[in-house]
Chains A and B, each alone.
Chain A
Amino acid sequence: MLTDVRALIGCYLRIALAGFHRYATYRQATVAGAATNIVFGLIRVGILAAVYTAQGGGSVGGYDLTTTVTYVWLGQGLLSIVEFWGGTELTNRIRTGAVVVDLSRPWNPQAALLAEDTGRAGFAALARLVPPVLFGMVVFPFRWPDNPWVPVLFLVSALLAMVVSFGARFLLSLTAFWLLDSRGVLGVYQVVSSTLAGLEIPLGYFPGWARTALWFTPFPAMLQSPIDVFVQHGSAVALLVHQVVWAVLLLSLGQLLLRSAVRKVVVQGG
């Protein structure tokens, strides 16, 4: 029994490692991606700094200028950890029927995909989170955390953000079992998710009713929460609990949906 569990954990670890290596192979793409994140960061800083110029300094939505600039660089770095725009692989495998192979493997498909995504995110944390944040630290005023636990909590929160994002993408991909092609659904999700998660403007800028409504969705947990943990805006515990709740909720829903999808699958020719 114990050896079984150990074998299973070892198996997921190897999948995660494979996920890490898979993305680490494309060095040129990584450099190009990080450079692109930095240019977009500069455009975002320009637009948001103009808000403070027009306003004559002070704070907007609980963020002062330094916090806003820090927010931009953290967001640009977290972007590739969270991965709003990728992840159409599963839906394509469902559409083509290749998913049958995944379902017959001796592990839980959701856990295996999550392990792979964690490996991917691990590489992104090293190669894509560090460059924009470092750039922001050196070139712009930066809001440093005032105690050493904050960066640790930030990393935990970033991991949770990635899990929540994975959970949402996994759920939407599964709709392909019923819709046959969920690219449209995923497309709409990709378009709105980053803005609702707080990529372009801090969610604090939104009017009060919109902020309240957003906290009932998983979106803030994908980007705004880790940033708020880092810049110490709001209670870190509340932010982390919100993330954990959404992570558990989305993963369990995914597991349930997967089970009913499996009952539905008919293998052609089998």
Chain B
Amino acid sequence: MADAVTSFGTYRHLVAAQVRGQLSYRSSFVLNCFGQMLAQCTDLVVILVLFSRVASLGGFGVRDVLLIYSLAGLSFGLADLVVGSIDQLPTFIRTGEFDVVLLRPLGTLAQLAASDFQLRRLGRVITALGVLGYVLSTSDLDWTVARVALLVVTPLAGMVIFSSIFVAASSVCFWFIDSRELANTVTYGGSYFTSYPITVFTGWLRTFLAYVVPGAFVAYYPALVLIGRADPLGAPTWLCSVSPVVALLSALGAATVWRRAVRHYRGTGS
């Protein structure tokens, strides 16, 4: 336990140092942050253009889809902020720098997450928050204490789910060093998938990205509870509010995969 506390303290110092560094190049930071905001905006533009052609998508109107999109964007943005630098892992393995990571008396995952912390990734979060604020303030939702709690917990649970996806998917690099792009199918692909109601998709793609990779629990199920709708696919009501439990299980799963992967690691030998 004490280990975890020290580790967290060190992590905070490392991150803080990088943030200070990035903020000292003010204009570069602003431009980069703007780029991330824009990245989230292009997804928004796509949804709006689609809805200029149709009134509903997968049985959901534009407000519902925007709610799902903003919750998914918030979750992905936060996860990308916290563990996004794990996509540097192949470089660490190839150059043998991972040896150094193993030698330090700190958690391997925390070190990698702190290795290239980019505050600019907050840009995605800002756009998603803006859209979420707009949707909530213009929709006629029936607010209860439970729903308010759900609204607060959902992005956090989503963040944990996406972080777990990032970690588990990147672990593949320990076996297949050049297959980094494959991880994108569940990270960026997962973000793309979770921004829409899962009713849009069919077949094994839906089964895989909604339940095996628990994408449905990031935004779709919580959004159903918030707007007070039953799942058209017939999921029981309780399933729609278990995202935190799914998040916990995902984190445990990702941690197990990561430990096995690290044990598999062999240095470059020179």
Contact = CB atoms under 8 A, between A and B. Distances in A.
Interface of A: 26, 28-29, 31-33, 35-36, 39-40, 42-43, 46-47, 50-51, 54-55, 60-61, 181, 183-185, 187-188, 190-192, 195, 200-201, 205-207
A183 B27 CA distance: 12
A46 B201 CA distance: 5
B38 A50 contact: no
Interface residues of B, number: 39
Given A29-B178, A42-B205, A206 B35 contact: no
A40 to B, nearest CB: 6
B54 interface: yes
Nearest to B59: A54
A35 B186 CA distance: 12
Q: Chain B interface mostly helix, strand, loop or mixed?
A: helix
A181 B55 CA distance: 44
Contacts of A205: 49-50, 52-53
B49 A201 contact: yes
Given A32-B180, A46-B205, A54 B35 contact: no
Given A51-B53, A55-B53, A184-B32, A35 B46 contact: no
Contacts of A39: 185, 189, 205
Interface in B80-103: none
Given A50-B57, A51-B54, 10 more contacts: A40-B185, A43-B205, A46-B200, A46-B205, A47-B196, A54-B54, A187-B31, A191-B39, A205-B50, A206-B49
A36 B36 CA distance: 22
Contacts of B182: 32, 35-36
A34 to B, nearest CB: 9
Interface in B27-59: 28, 31-32, 34-36, 38-39, 42, 45-46, 49-50, 52-58
27 contacts: A26-B178, A28-B176, A29-B179, A29-B180, A29-B181, A31-B179, A32-B178, A32-B181, A43-B189, A43-B205, A46-B200, A46-B201, A46-B206, A47-B50, A50-B200, A51-B50, A60-B53, A187-B35, A188-B31, A188-B38, A191-B38, A191-B39, A191-B42, A192-B42, A201-B46, A205-B49, A205-B52
A32 B189 CA distance: 14
A195 B53 CA distance: 17
Contacts of B28: 181, 183-184
B166 interface: no
Nearest to A53: B58
Contacts of A200: 42, 46
A190 B209 CA distance: 26
Contact of B35 (A36, A40, A188): A188
B192 A43 contact: yes
B232 to A, nearest CB: 13
Interface string B146-189: 00000000000000000000000000000011111110110001
B181 A184 contact: no
A217 to B, nearest CB: 15
B50 A201 contact: yes
B31 A40 contact: no
Contact of A184 (B35, B58, B180, B205): B35
A17 B176 CA distance: 27
Nearest to B176: A28
Given A50-B58, A60-B53, A201-B49, A36 B38 contact: no
A149 to B, nearest CB: 32
B193 interface: yes
Interface string B203-221: 0011001000000000000
A185 to B, nearest CB: 7
Contacts of A35: 182, 185
Contacts of A47: 50, 57, 196, 200-201
B46 A195 contact: yes
A186 B32 CA distance: 10
A39 B181 CA distance: 11
Contact of B42 (A61, A181, A185, A195): A195
Contacts of B45: 195
A46 B189 contact: no
A78 to B, nearest CB: 17
A203 B42 CA distance: 13
Nearest to B25: A181
A39 B177 CA distance: 20
